[in-house]
Amino acid sequence: MDNTNRNVFGLNGIAGMLIATVLLISILVVLTIWGLKAQQEVANKPYEITTPQAIKMVDKANADLIKK
């Protein structure tokens, strides 16, 4: 039972580790860019409360007072 069939550069070796690392880093970069774009889009569209005196403590109609 000799283990002479070793493949260091196989998918379960160095190449697999590099593929997994590059894949995870690329996912991280894509999600970071996506998050930054979403933040910039929201920052450019501030909301405004039309009548602050009409806001009640617990009321579902409070969402109607926000002008987008």
Q: Give the number of domains in the chain.
A: 1
Domain assignment present for residue 52? The answer is yes
Domain assignment present for residue 28? The answer is yes
Domain assignment present for residue 47? The answer is yes
Average pLDDT over residues 39-63: 77
Domain assignment present for residue 60? The answer is yes
User: What are the φ and ψ backbone dihedral angles of 25, each rounded to 5 degrees?
Assistant: -70, -40
Domain assignment present for residue 5? The answer is no
Average pLDDT over residues 1-14: 68
Query: In sequence order, what are the beta bridge partners of 48?
Result: 67
Domain assignment present for residue 7? The answer is no
Average pLDDT over residues 10-36: 91
Range of the domain at 59: 14-67
* pLDDT tens readout for residues 22-31: 999 999 999 9
Average pLDDT over residues 17-45: 94
Domain assignment present for residue 4? The answer is no
3-class SS of residue 13: coil
Question: What percentage of the chain reaches a pLDDT higher than 90?
Answer: 32
Domain assignment present for residue 62? The answer is yes
